Amino acid sequence: MSANKKIDEIIELIIMLQNSYRGLTTYDIAEHFECSKRTAERMMSAIVEKYGAYIETVQNKTDNKKRRRLKKGSLNSLIKFSSDDFAVLEYCKNLEKSPVKKKEIKAIIEKIKAINPDKYSKNDVDELLLNQAYCAHIGFREDISIDILTTINEAILSQKQIKLDNKYLINPYGLIYGERIYLVAYNPFFNDIWIYRISKLKKIELTNNYFEKDENFNIQEFSDKSFGIYQGEAMDVVLEFDKSARDDVLEYHFHKSQKITPLENGNIQVKLRASGSYEIITELLKWRETVKVISPKILRDEYIKTVENMYNSTKKEN
């Protein structure tokens, strides 16, 4: 291994130790860098020798393994952000349609400014943003406390149970951001994965009870099973879009499993496998008369019924 690569890996490990909430074991280090346990120990020893005063041990009752991390803020003096960096962050904040996420991003920007006061120039950032634009999105506006999100994130990172409304204990696995924000958690009482809309949670409390997360659970895979947020029986969906919507369809992301095929008549076929007929139909209504549901029949019938109900409802009012 070259000297430069060794230095790069030590720097990477230092950043990992700073960012880790639970702390890292020797095994974690060896697995990440694909090296032997002995090499991982040497890397850790080099950091302890230089930054020993900033290293702290994290106790985890679930596995009793020795975990170490750098105290928060230890690397503040080593990390610098330019005006370009701040402009990118401000631009990302403006792109975000969720008021809650926008508030979170703003709080993060302020924290970064606090630890990098010499690198922040409001005039420079404003000048950079003059050449950027964003579109305002229509959607739900949830009023969610940053404190609640902070508590949930802390519970996820430390693998501690959350108590809901002073009654129920759940094991938080992760968050799903869509039009709304949802918490995915294992409910021990029902022995199943539940989805909680965060804006509906009235009171949450971080406990000192650790939990063992199912190692086979992957929140991205869990989310990909459905068209939207709600889980159900997966369907093989076939849609056909009129050629008048061709360009828009070719650039549109319907679902991770989608397969888009141009047809001989100029129309576009979209195939996907997902659950959640309500959310699929809600999405298709945006495309008005340019889309037809080819299969499955149960989805086509439900789509037709939805359109008919909308028509009949409007007809009654007139």
Confidence grade of residue 226 (pLDDT, cut at 50, 70, 90): low
- Per residue in 267-289, pLDDT (tens digit) is 999 998 887 787 888 888 888 88
8 A C-beta contact, residue 225 and residue 243: no
Query: Residue 218's pLDDT is what?
Result: 79
pLDDT: is 307 or 129 the higher one?
307
What average pLDDT does this structure show over 305-316? 80
DSSP state of 226: B
Q: What is the band of 24 on the pLDDT scale with cuts at 50, 70, 90?
A: confident
Q: What is the DSSP string of 132-172?
A: ---PPPP-------HHHHHHHHHHHHHTEEEEETTTEEEEE
The amino acid present at 243, given as its one-letter code, is K
The average confidence (pLDDT) of the chain is: 77
Mean pLDDT, rounded, for 285-313: 88
Query: Residue 120's pLDDT is what?
Result: 47
Yes or no: say if 142 and 149 are a contact pair by the CB < 8 Å rule: no
- pLDDT band (50, 70, 90) for residue 241: very high
Q: Give the span between the Cα atoms of 128 and 26, in whole angstroms.
A: 44
Q: Which residues contact 148 (CB under 8 A, 6 or more apart)?
A: 198, 201, 204
Taking alpha carbons only, the member of 270, 310, 262 closest to residue 294 is 270
CA atoms of 203 and 167, how far apart (whole Å): 10
